[in-house]
Chain A
Amino acid sequence: MQLSLRSHRPTSGMPQQGKRLWWALAVVVPAFLLLTGRLWQLQILNGAMYFERTTDNFIKERRIVPIRGRIVDHHGKTLVDSRPAFNVYADPRKYQEKVHDRLIAMLAIRTDRATSAWRRASVAIADRRRRPVLLFEDVSWQQMASIEQGASLLPGVSVRDTPRRLYPYGQLASHVLGYMKEITRRELEQWSDDGYKPGDYVGRYGLEMRWERTLRGTDGTERFVENARGARVADAEADELIEGDRLTPPEPGRTLVLTLDLDLQQIVQKALGDHPAAGVAVVEVKTGRIRALVSKPGFDSNMMTGRVTSSALKAMNDSPYKPFLDKTLKLHYYPGSTFKFVTTLAALESKLQHPNHVTTCNYSVRVADRIFHCNRRHGPVAMADAMSQSCNVYFYELSQVVGIDRIADVARDFGFGSPTGLDLNGDVRGRVPNKAFYEERGTFRVGYTLNTAIGQGDVEVGVLQLALAYAAIANGGRLWLPQLVERVVSATGNVLKEYPARLRHRLHVSEESLLELRRGLFGTVNDKKGTAYSHRIEGLLVAGKTGTAQIRGGRREAPAGSAWHPQRDHAWFAGYAPADDPELAIVVLIEHGGSGGRVAAPIAMRILREYYALKTTAAARGGAP
C-alpha cells in the first residue's frame, strides 16, 4: 500500500498536495476512537452488568381471563353468574413432598384428594416441567387465607383466582341454560385464533354453548419481568424493559337477558310434583317469547360444569327418564287429541263439513273391516262438542270426509314437521304423514287417515312446537319464531343488541274458522261435559285441549295409577289463557303419565292459577310482576 500523504505531486487533485488528508484523519481517527472507547465501556467495563440484566430477565405474559357474562331472566334476576374461585398451584421446580404434607395439614384435605394431587405434582417434578400444576380446585376463603399466611413455609405454592360458573338454582331450567366443560383438543385447534387456551371452559350445552362467544368476553394480558430466580421484578424496573402498556384489562363477557320468567319457571317446576319425566312450554301468545321451558328431569349445571364422577354420569345416562335429552326440543311424541284442532281446521277451511253437522258416537266405528274405538259413548255430537269432549268417532268420520292430505297441509302450516327455529338442544322436526308418506312405504290405507286425525299413527310433535301452534290459534293466526334471548347487555349495563319478536309466517286459516275452533277449546275447560271441566279455575278463563297419546303396543300391561311406566300413555294438555284475551299459551306433557284430562290438565291449571295469583299480588304491591 502506497500512502501518498507525504508525497508532493504537483499534479494531484487534492489542494496543497494532500495535506488536507491530515485534516480528514484528524476527524475520522478521533471519531473511531470515541466509538471504540464507548464500546469498551459498554462491553468490557460494564458488560457483566448488562449481561446479567438481559439474560436473567424474562418478559412474561400472564393472561387475565375475563369474567363470563351473566344470564338473567326477563326481570333481571340472575340465573347464571360467575363467582371468584381459588385454585392452588404448585411450581414443580420448587415443590417437595415435605411441603405437600405441610400444605395438606394446613388445609385439612382428605387423604384421597391429597394423594392424587401429589401424584400429579410428582410427575411434573420428575419431568422437570416449569408450568405450575393444579393441586386443588376451588378452595375456600379460609383455606386460601391460611396459604397466604403460611407462604414462607410453602415454597412453590401459589393461589390463583379463576372465575367459576355458578348456577344458583341448580337444576332449574338446566336444559335452557346448559353447562360448561373443559375445551376439547379439537375445539382448541379450531378456535385457537380466538384466544382459547388449554384448560379453558366452554359452553357445552344449552345457551352456554349457543351463546359462547357473547358470554365469553375478551382476554386481557399483564406483562411482567421475571429474573433468573423466578422472582418478579418490581414494576418500575419492569417498565424499562417492556415496551408499551404493561396491562391490557380483559373485557368482561356480555349479559344475556332472557325472555324466561324465573317465578314462572319455579312454579312449573313445583307443579310437576313427583312426575319424573315431563316437558312444559309456556309461550307469550302475542310475541312467541318463551316464558318458561322445563324438561324434567334436569341436571345440576354446577355439577356438570365441575368434575363429574363417571359413576354419576353413567347413572344419568342409563336413567330411563333420559335427563340429557331435552323433552321440549330434542324429543317428539304422539300428540294424541291435542292434534284434533288440525283436523277441525282442515274441515272448516275446506268447508267440507258444517260445524253444526252432528255425528252420533256409539263407542266404536267400523272402517275398512277394522274397528276403531272411542274413549266412551258420547251420543250425538257437533264439532265444538266433539272437540271439548274429545270424541274420536266424530273425528274418524270427519277425517274420511277431509282426507289425510288436507290434514297434513294444515299441520305443516302450523309448523309441525319442521324445526321451530330456536336452534337449541336439537330442535327436531317431528313428523306429519300424508298420503305420499305412506305410499312410499307401501300401500296407503284409510286407517292411517283415521289415526292421523286423532294425533296417533305416525304423527309426532315437540312440546315447544305444539305451544307455538296453540299460541297461533289464540292470536288469530300468527306463527311466531320462538325467542329465548331478549337483549344482550354489556357488563356495564348498556344495551348492545335488542332482539324483537320475529314472525315465522301468517297461517292460511280464516278468522271465522279460528273462532269456531276456539269455541271448542273453550268448552274443554268451561263446558260441563268438557274433559278438563273439573279442573277449571275460579276467576281465570282457560281454553285448551287434553290429550292421551297411546303408546304403540302399550296400555294393556300398564298398572293402574299415574306413575311413570313405559307402557302407559303420555298425558297432554295444550291451551291458552285468559281465553277472552289470550296472553300465554301452555303445553304440559307428562311422559307416560296416563290420562291427559286427569294428569296433565290439573298441572297446567295449577301453573296458570299460581302465575296469575303471583301477578295479581305483585300488581297490588305496585311493582312489576
Chain B
Amino acid sequence: MNIQTVLQLFRRHFDWTLALTIMAISLLGLLNLYSATRYVPQRGLFQQQIVWLGLGALCFLVFALIDYRTWLRASWILLILGILALIGVMMFGHTVNRSTRWLGIGSFGGQPSEFIKVAVILDLARLVHDRGSGMTLIDLATRVGALVLVFVLIAIQPDMGTAVMVGLICLSILFLMARNVRWLLRGAGLFCLSAPFLWKYVIWEHVLRPKQKGRILAVLDPSSDPAGLAWQGRQSVFAIGSGQGTGKGFMQGTQNKLNLVPEQMTDFPFSVWAEEWGFAGSMVFLLLYFVLIFWTLNVASETRDRFGATLCCGVAAFIFWHVFANISMVIGIAPVVGVTLPLVSYGGSSMLTFFIALGLVASVSIRRHARA
C-alpha cells in the first residue's frame, strides 16, 4: 500500500466515534487539570500537560496511519526493549517516593513500566495469532516467561499498582481470546476457592509491605487509622461527597484549594472533578469512558483477523482496569495504589502510552472493512 491509498483509506474510514470520545475525555481532563494544578506549589504543570497532549495526539495519528500488522513481527523486539528498559530502571533509575520507576537522560525521562503495557498487549496478540500455526510448547513457555518477568520487574520497583494492571490485562485477554475457555474457567474456579488461603498465608504474610497492608485495612475500616494511611483516601471521599449533585463549580473546590486532596493532578484528578462538577459531572466522565471501552470492544468484534481483535481487546482491558482501579481508589472502595486515570492524569509516560494504544485501535478500526 502506498501513501496515497493509506490517506484515502484514512479519509474514508477514519473512526470519528473513537477520536471524538478521546478528544472529549482529554479536553475535559485538561480543563480539570487547570483547576487541580492551580493551588499546588509547582508551576508550569498545566503548560507541560498541553505539550504532552499535543504529542499524544500526534502519536495517535501516526499509529493510526501505520498498519497495525506492521507490529506483528516486531512485537517481541518491543517486549525485549521494554524488559531491558525495566532492568535499566532497576540499575540507574530515579527514585520518587521510595519507588524506583523513572529512567531519564538529562531532563527527558519516562516510566518504562507505562510503555511496556503496549508491548505486552502486542505480544499477547501475537501469541493468540500464532496459536495453532505450529507453535511449540517451548515458544509458549518463552512468551509466558517473558510476561512473568515483566510482572516481577515492575513489582519489585515497587509498583504494585502497575504490576497488577499488567496482570489483569493479560488475564482479560486470555479470557476473551482463548479457544477453549473450559480450562480457564476451571482454573478460575480453583483460584477462587484457594484465594482466601493464598491471600492469608502467602500474600498477606510474605508479599505485602506494611504500608500496603495499611492501605488495604484503611479501605476495609476507614476509622482504623484516620490520621495516617487512610488520610489521603478520606480526604478524597470528603471532596467528592461535598460536590453533591451539581458540584461547587469550576475552580471552586474547597478541598482542592486547600490542597487537602493529595496528588490531585496525578492520581486523584477525578476527586477534583467530582468536587467541582458534582454527580452530574462524574456521570459524564463515566459515560465517556464507557463509550470508549464499548466502542473498542465493538471494533474488536468486527475485526476479521485475530491479531487486530486481540489488540483491541487488550486496549479495552487496559483502559477499563485503569479507570476502574483509579476511580475505585478515589471514591474509597479500593486501596490507594498509584494507577493513573486514562487521558486525564498529569504525566507524559501515561499520556503517551494511552494515545499510542488508542492509535493502534484506530489503525485496526480503519482497516477492519478492507479485505486483508
A binds B: yes
Please report the C-alpha to C-alpha distance between residue A28 and residue B316 in the assembled complex, in whole angstroms.
10
Q: Does A46 have its Cβ within 8 Å of any Cβ on chain B?
A: yes
Would you call B17 and A1 a contact (CB within 8 A)?
yes
Interface of chain B residues 293 through 348 with chain A (CB within 8 A):
293-294, 297-298, 300-310, 313, 316, 320, 324, 327-328, 331-333
Partner of B176, one of A23, A31, A49, A239: A23
What residues of chain B lie closer than 8 Å to A442, measured between beta carbons?
none
Would you call A55 and B242 a contact (CB within 8 A)?
yes
Would you call A46 and B241 a contact (CB within 8 A)?
yes
Q: Does A183 have its Cβ within 8 Å of any Cβ on chain B?
A: no
Please report the C-alpha to C-alpha distance between residue A55 and residue B247 in the assembled complex, in whole angstroms.
12
What residues of chain A lie closer than 8 Å to B76, measured between beta carbons?
none
Would you call B258 and A59 a contact (CB within 8 A)?
yes
Please report the C-alpha to C-alpha distance between residue A240 and residue B239 in the assembled complex, in whole angstroms.
13
Q: Does A241 have its Cβ within 8 Å of any Cβ on chain B?
A: yes
Please report the C-alpha to C-alpha distance between residue A296 and residue B261 in the assembled complex, in whole angstroms.
62
Partner of B309, one of A14, A32, A46, A54: A14
Q: Does B227 have its Cβ within 8 Å of any Cβ on chain A?
A: yes
Would you call B331 and A12 a contact (CB within 8 A)?
no
Q: Does A18 have its Cβ within 8 Å of any Cβ on chain B?
A: yes
Would you call A32 and B308 a contact (CB within 8 A)?
no
Please report the C-alpha to C-alpha distance between residue A529 and residue B199 in the assembled complex, in whole angstroms.
108
What residues of chain A lie closer than 8 Å to B239, measured between beta carbons?
54
Interface centre among B17, B175, B242, B262 (most CB of A within 10 A): B242
What residues of chain B lie closer than 8 Å to A43, measured between beta carbons?
240-241, 243-245, 274, 278-279, 282
Q: Does A44 have its Cβ within 8 Å of any Cβ on chain B?
A: yes
Q: Does A623 have its Cβ within 8 Å of any Cβ on chain B?
A: no
Nearest Cβ distance between residue A39 and chain B, in whole angstroms?
Answer: 5
Partner of A13, one of B279, B307, B324: B307
Interface centre among A39, A55, A239 (most CB of B within 10 A): A39
Interface of chain A residues 9 through 43 with chain B (CB within 8 A):
9, 11-15, 18, 20-21, 23-25, 27-28, 31-32, 34-36, 38-40, 42-43
Q: Does B52 have its Cβ within 8 Å of any Cβ on chain A?
A: no
Are A240 and B290 CB-contacts (below 8 A) given A28-B320, A43-B244?
A: no
Please report the C-alpha to C-alpha distance between residue A28 and residue B309 in the assembled complex, in whole angstroms.
18
* Contact bitstring B217-257, A, C-beta under 8 A = 1, else 0: 00000000011000100100111111111000000001100
* Main DSSP-derived SS at the A contact region: helix
Please report the C-alpha to C-alpha distance between residue A23 and residue B316 in the assembled complex, in whole angstroms.
13
Q: Does A189 have its Cβ within 8 Å of any Cβ on chain B?
A: no
Please report the C-alpha to C-alpha distance between residue A48 and residue B294 in the assembled complex, in whole angstroms.
34
Would you call B238 and A50 a contact (CB within 8 A)?
yes
Would you call B301 and A21 a contact (CB within 8 A)?
yes
Would you call A12 and B258 a contact (CB within 8 A)?
no
Are A42 and B309 CB-contacts (below 8 A) given A23-B175, A54-B242, A243-B231?
A: no
Q: Does A3 have its Cβ within 8 Å of any Cβ on chain B?
A: yes
Would you call A44 and B226 a contact (CB within 8 A)?
no
Partner of A39, one of B258, B293, B320, B331: B331
On chain B, the number of residues with a Cβ less than 8 Å from chain A's Cβ atoms is 57
What residues of chain A lie closer than 8 Å to B243, measured between beta carbons?
43, 47
What residues of chain A lie closer than 8 Å to B309, measured between beta carbons?
12-14
Q: Which residue of A lies closest to B293 (CB)?
A: A28
Nearest Cβ distance between residue B140 and chain A, in whole angstroms?
Answer: 18
Are A35 and B301 CB-contacts (below 8 A) given A23-B176, A44-B245?
A: no
Please report the C-alpha to C-alpha distance between residue A17 and residue B7 in the assembled complex, in whole angstroms.
31
Q: Does A120 have its Cβ within 8 Å of any Cβ on chain B?
A: no
Q: Which residue of B lies closest to A31 (CB)?
A: B324
Please report the C-alpha to C-alpha distance between residue A28 and residue B306 in the assembled complex, in whole angstroms.
22
Please report the C-alpha to C-alpha distance between residue A243 and residue B262 in the assembled complex, in whole angstroms.
10
Interface size class of chain A, counting residues whose CB lies under 8 Å from the partner chain:
35 or more
Q: Does B179 have its Cβ within 8 Å of any Cβ on chain A?
A: yes
Q: Does A247 have its Cβ within 8 Å of any Cβ on chain B?
A: no
What residues of chain A lie closer than 8 Å to B301, measured between beta carbons?
4-5, 12, 14, 18, 21
Q: Does B156 have its Cβ within 8 Å of any Cβ on chain A?
A: no
Nearest Cβ distance between residue A235 and chain B, in whole angstroms?
Answer: 11
What residues of chain B lie closer than 8 Å to A3, measured between beta carbons?
298
Are A40 and B303 CB-contacts (below 8 A) given A35-B324, A35-B331?
A: no
Are A47 and B324 CB-contacts (below 8 A) given A20-B176, A243-B231?
A: no
Please report the C-alpha to C-alpha distance between residue A3 and residue B17 in the assembled complex, in whole angstroms.
13
The tally of CB-CB contacts under 8 A between chains A and B is 136
Q: Which residue of A lies closest to B246 (CB)?
A: A43
Are A13 and B305 CB-contacts (below 8 A) given A35-B331, A39-B282, A43-B279?
A: yes
What residues of chain A lie closer than 8 Å to B17, measured between beta carbons?
1
Q: Which residue of A lies closest to B310 (CB)?
A: A13
What residues of chain A lie closer than 8 Å to B316, measured between beta carbons?
24
Nearest Cβ distance between residue A242 and chain B, in whole angstroms?
Answer: 8
Nearest Cβ distance between residue B20 and chain A, in whole angstroms?
Answer: 13
Interface centre among A31, A35, A243 (most CB of B within 10 A): A35
Nearest Cβ distance between residue B270 and chain A, in whole angstroms?
Answer: 10
Please report the C-alpha to C-alpha distance between residue A332 and residue B239 in the assembled complex, in whole angstroms.
70
Please report the C-alpha to C-alpha distance between residue A31 and residue B289 in the assembled complex, in whole angstroms.
12
Partner of A49, one of B241, B286, B307, B324: B241
Are A13 and B241 CB-contacts (below 8 A) given A18-B301, A21-B301?
A: no
Would you call B260 and A241 a contact (CB within 8 A)?
yes
Would you call B308 and A13 a contact (CB within 8 A)?
yes
Q: Which residue of A lies closest to B222 (CB)?
A: A240
What residues of chain B lie closer than 8 Å to A24, measured between beta carbons?
172, 176, 297, 313, 316
Please report the C-alpha to C-alpha distance between residue A13 and residue B290 in the assembled complex, in whole angstroms.
22
Q: Does A506 have its Cβ within 8 Å of any Cβ on chain B?
A: no
Please report the C-alpha to C-alpha distance between residue A4 and residue B297 in the assembled complex, in whole angstroms.
10
Q: Which residue of B lies closest to A245 (CB)?
A: B227
Please report the C-alpha to C-alpha distance between residue A183 and residue B301 in the assembled complex, in whole angstroms.
75
Please report the C-alpha to C-alpha distance between residue A60 and residue B88 in the assembled complex, in whole angstroms.
46
Q: Does B19 have its Cβ within 8 Å of any Cβ on chain A?
A: no
Interface of chain A residues 38 through 87 with chain B (CB within 8 A):
38-40, 42-44, 46-51, 53-55, 59
What residues of chain B lie closer than 8 Å to A59, measured between beta carbons?
258
Please report the C-alpha to C-alpha distance between residue A51 and residue B245 in the assembled complex, in whole angstroms.
11
What residues of chain B lie closer than 8 Å to A18, measured between beta carbons?
301
Please report the C-alpha to C-alpha distance between residue A38 and residue B243 in the assembled complex, in whole angstroms.
14
Q: Which residue of A lies closest to B259 (CB)?
A: A243
Please report the C-alpha to C-alpha distance between residue A4 and residue B172 in the assembled complex, in whole angstroms.
20
Partner of B226, one of A27, A31, A239: A239
Q: Which residue of A lies closest to B253 (CB)?
A: A54
Please report the C-alpha to C-alpha distance between residue A11 and residue B304 in the assembled complex, in whole angstroms.
5
Please report the C-alpha to C-alpha distance between residue A241 and residue B258 in the assembled complex, in whole angstroms.
11
Q: Which residue of A lies closest to B231 (CB)?
A: A243
Please report the C-alpha to C-alpha distance between residue A49 and residue B241 in the assembled complex, in whole angstroms.
8
Would you call A31 and B320 a contact (CB within 8 A)?
yes
What residues of chain B lie closer than 8 Å to A54, measured between beta carbons?
238-239, 242, 254-255
Q: Which residue of A lies closest to B371 (CB)?
A: A11
Q: Which residue of B lies closest to A58 (CB)?
A: B258
Would you call A28 and B290 a contact (CB within 8 A)?
yes
Please report the C-alpha to C-alpha distance between residue A243 and residue B310 in the assembled complex, in whole angstroms.
45
Would you call B297 and A15 a contact (CB within 8 A)?
no
Are A47 and B244 CB-contacts (below 8 A) given A38-B333, A54-B254?
A: yes
What residues of chain B lie closer than 8 Å to A35, measured between beta carbons?
286, 324, 327-328, 331
Q: Does B87 have its Cβ within 8 Å of any Cβ on chain A?
A: no
What residues of chain A lie closer than 8 Å to B24, measured between beta carbons?
none
What residues of chain B lie closer than 8 Å to A11, measured between beta carbons?
304
Would you call B242 and A15 a contact (CB within 8 A)?
no
Selected A-B contacts with CB under 8 Å, 18 pairs = A1-B17, A1-B298, A14-B300, A15-B177, A20-B176, A23-B175, A25-B294, A25-B297, A28-B290, A31-B320, A36-B283, A36-B286, A40-B279, A42-B237, A42-B240, A54-B238, A239-B226, A239-B227
The 7 A-B residue pairs with the shortest CB-CB distance in the complex, in nearest-first order: A50-B241, A13-B309, A47-B244, A18-B301, A43-B279, A54-B242, A42-B241
Chain B residues with CB under 8 Å of chain A are 17, 172, 175-179, 226-227, 231, 234, 237-245, 254-255, 258, 260, 262, 274, 278-279, 282-283, 286, 289-290, 293-294, 297-298, 300-310, 313, 316, 320, 324, 327-328, 331-333
4 extra interface residue pairs, beta carbon distance < 8 Å, beyond A12-B303, A28-B320, A51-B241? A31-B324, A42-B241, A47-B245, A54-B255
